[in-house]
Structure 1
Amino acid sequence: MSRISLLLALMLSSLFYSQEVSKERVTIVLSKLASDEMKGREIGTPENDSASIYIAKRFEEDQLDFCTGNSYLVPFQYKGKTVYNVCGIKKGKSNKTLAFTAHFDHIGTSENTEDKVFNGADDNASGVTTVIGLADFFKTEKPDFSMMFIAFNGEEKGMKGSKAISNLESLESKYQNITALFNFEMVATVSKFGRNALYMTGDEFSDLDELFNGRAVNGLQIFPDPYLGQNLFYRSDNVSFVKKKIIAHSFSTVDMNTATHYHQLNDDLKVVNFDNLTQIINNLGKTFEKLKPENFKPTYNNKVDFN
């Protein structure tokens, strides 16, 4: 093979392989979402709209297809205002789909302190950064599964966005192809299980974690939810899809017993371990590369409540 032919072959092959996400990229995305200018991303505010547009632009960079209509922005109504979820599709070799989700809204600002912005770096700029990071990871690859990427709005007001988009008739045919939904909720810190580890809410309801761990790379591991008394499985956006009998769990690193930043003004960039988050994103991507529709078919048991 000539040198020119070899270079051409290498260039073409690079179009079909994933690309690792840099710590710099993770830092830029998370820092933007958690910046003071976003004013806590409360649903119904101009800053919340700005956050949705920012996420849509990242989906455009990653060359995702629209989930529905002619925009990544999927509108719904909240208190008489039009607000947005953000949704993109990566077509794979199969119509069978893995969904990656996180909510991008937070709780806004305070009038009572010198630091007025609830930045929500962990809750949940970290989760949205993970979703964007996975879209980055698969930008140049055609994976075995198709992939759906959704940034939910209004979680802090009662999961308004996930309820709205989960019931959207125009997406129903796509939902029927979802094999599993991974909802990322507060993944900025190192978990009680150590680095490169997440826990899964509702692990007692399905075999998703066992199937995932059996193919996980580089020591990445999903542990059972250690905070069962807090009923986390039913308290996040995954439950909107559980009600549709879709395998849907939330994945987190936050210590719910000791975290002092949850819904506090100190949930800012200082709580974020960017090295750990970057490692998790890339190892998630490398693990999802190994999953195929024929070898990854998680199922619920009879313990889950679909109501």
Structure 2
Amino acid sequence: MKKVLLLFVIGTSSLLFSQQVSKKRVIEVLSHLASDEMKGRDIGTPENDSAAVYIAKQFADNKLSYCIGDSYLIPFEYKGKIVYNVCGIKKGKSEKTLAFSAHFDHIGTSENTEDKVFNGADDNASGVTAIIGLADYFKTKKSDFSLMYIAFNGEEKGMKGSKAIVEIPDLQEQQQNIAALFNFEMIATVSQFGPNTLYMTGDEFSDLDELFNEKAVNNLKIQPDPYKKQQLFYRSDNVSFVKKKIIAHSLSTVDMTKAKHYHQLNDDLEIVDFDNLTQIINNFGKTIEKLTPKNFAPKYTDKVNFN
């Protein structure tokens, strides 16, 4: 009996451990996306294409289904070139869907300095690492919600990718099933509210944060937007979904009053707090496990502008 109990405990411990996304994995993904070889992932470059293919490979490894057609790569046109968003979905117990998104493009290279690569570790390799981490987390798990993962292209050039993907006819039904979209935007640093916290842009426009915080585990918390005057809610990819009246907010940790790496050459691995990022990914996954279409159905307030 003791032997059986011991084996059960060991098995349970192994299962729990297997659900965790390791710091090593977080470093691996973010370091690849923010490497010098990616040359700043500017839209329309071969390196940007390589980043899209890399993200698609991670989705394939996690056995996600295609959002549309027979590929994770969803093409659109930018300045006469074919470029790609990346989208995968894991079917849950319900057609109701939670979407996790982040843009993977950055601003490329500089010819005027010794360090020529805008690596974009925080902006936004960190956000893409989060959605890949969540796909890792749920690889062997069944959730109540279906889970959609979207890596947008062209955010830096005016949210080109998110604007394109919301207009695809064959994705309209899936998009209307989205109960909420969590858009991760610059989450490599510890927020001004402390470790294991993010802030939500436009928190006054819906009750998403309140409903999420009610179920949040291990003291994970979504804080109110401290930069309301900057109108960040309307300045990232989430707004493309807002215009479709889909609940969509951006989550961030960057201190906009102190950050000296935003669109600068020093936005590289040295500024990333990998312990905090790993903690956020795992606690986010654990919280999502507790959400169901019955206990998590956020709604917009009458303050939001859909135009």
What is the TM-score with the length of structure 1 in the denominator?
0.96
User: Aligned to 2:127, what secondary structure does the other structure show?
Assistant: helix
| Equivalent position amino acid for 2:219 in 1 | G
User: Could you give the per-residue CA deviations for residues 254-289 of structure 1, whole angstroms, max 9, x where no partner exists?
Assistant: 000110000000000001000000000000000000
User: Aligned to 2:84, what secondary structure does the other structure show?
Assistant: strand
Moved more, 160-169 or 14-23: 14-23
| Equivalent position amino acid for 2:216 in 1 | A
User: Aligned to 1:214, what secondary structure does the other structure show?
Assistant: helix
Q: 1:119 offset after TM fit, Å? A: 0.1
| Equivalent position amino acid for 1:291 in 2 | L
Q: What does residue 169 of structure 1 align with?
A: 169
User: Could you give the per-residue CA deviations for residues 133-159 of structure 1, whole angstroms, max 9, x where no partner exists?
Assistant: 000000000101000000000000000
Q: What does residue 283 of structure 1 align with?
A: 283
1:258 and 2:258 equivalent?
Answer: yes
Q: What does residue 121 of structure 1 align with?
A: 121
Q: What does residue 72 of structure 1 align with?
A: 72
Q: Check 1:17–1:189 CA distance in 2 against 1; reply closer, same or farther (3 A cut).
A: closer
Could you list the structure 1 runs, at least 4 aligned residues long, displaced by more than 6 angstroms after superposition.
Answer: 10-18
Q: What does residue 48 of structure 2 align with?
A: 48
Q: 1:19 offset after TM fit, Å? A: 1.0
Q: 1:99 offset after TM fit, Å? A: 0.1
Alignment of 1:1-307 (within 5 A): 19-307=19-307
User: Aligned to 1:251, what secondary structure does the other structure show?
Assistant: strand
User: Aligned to 1:267, what secondary structure does the other structure show?
Assistant: coil
Are the counterparts in 2 of residues 15 and 140 from structure 1 also a CA contact under 8 Å?
no
Are the counterparts in 2 of residues 18 and 138 from structure 1 also a CA contact under 8 Å?
no
Q: Check 1:93–1:13 CA distance in 2 against 1; reply closer, same or farther (3 A cut).
A: farther
Identity, in percent, stands at 75
Q: Check 1:263–1:79 CA distance in 2 against 1; reply closer, same or farther (3 A cut).
A: same
Moved more, 130-139 or 14-23: 14-23
Are the counterparts in 2 of residues 17 and 141 from structure 1 also a CA contact under 8 Å?
no
Give me the whole-angstrom Cα distance separating, in 1, the residues matched to 2:18 and 2:181. 21
Are the counterparts in 2 of residues 199 and 224 from structure 1 also a CA contact under 8 Å?
yes
User: Aligned to 2:55, what secondary structure does the other structure show?
Assistant: helix
Give me the whole-angstrom Cα distance separating, in 1, the residues matched to 2:13 and 2:94. 20
Give me the whole-angstrom Cα distance separating, in 2, the residues matched to 1:25 and 1:16. 17
Give me the whole-angstrom Cα distance separating, in 1, the residues matched to 2:14 and 2:94. 21
Q: 1:16 offset after TM fit, Å? A: 11
Give me the whole-angstrom Cα distance separating, in 2, the residues matched to 1:280 and 1:92. 22
Give me the whole-angstrom Cα distance separating, in 2, the residues matched to 1:128 and 1:193. 22
| Equivalent position amino acid for 1:242 in 2 | V
Alpha-carbon RMSD: 2.1
Structure 1: runs of 5 or more not aligned: none
Give me the whole-angstrom Cα distance separating, in 2, the residues matched to 1:77 and 1:16. 43
Q: 1:235 offset after TM fit, Å? A: 0.1
Give me the whole-angstrom Cα distance separating, in 1, the residues matched to 2:220 and 2:11. 30
Are the counterparts in 2 of residues 211 and 296 from structure 1 also a CA contact under 8 Å?
yes
Q: 1:229 offset after TM fit, Å? A: 1.1
Q: 1:13 offset after TM fit, Å? A: 12
Give me the whole-angstrom Cα distance separating, in 2, the residues matched to 1:293 and 1:96. 7
| Equivalent position amino acid for 1:167 in 2 | E
Q: Check 1:16–1:63 CA distance in 2 against 1; reply closer, same or farther (3 A cut).
A: farther
Are the counterparts in 2 of residues 18 and 139 from structure 1 also a CA contact under 8 Å?
no
| Equivalent position amino acid for 1:59 in 2 | F
User: Could you give the per-residue CA deviations for residues 148-207 of structure 1, whole angstroms, max 9, x where no partner exists?
Assistant: 000000000000000000111111110111000000000000000000000000000000
What is the TM-score with the length of structure 2 in the denominator?
0.96
Structure 2: runs of 5 or more not aligned: none
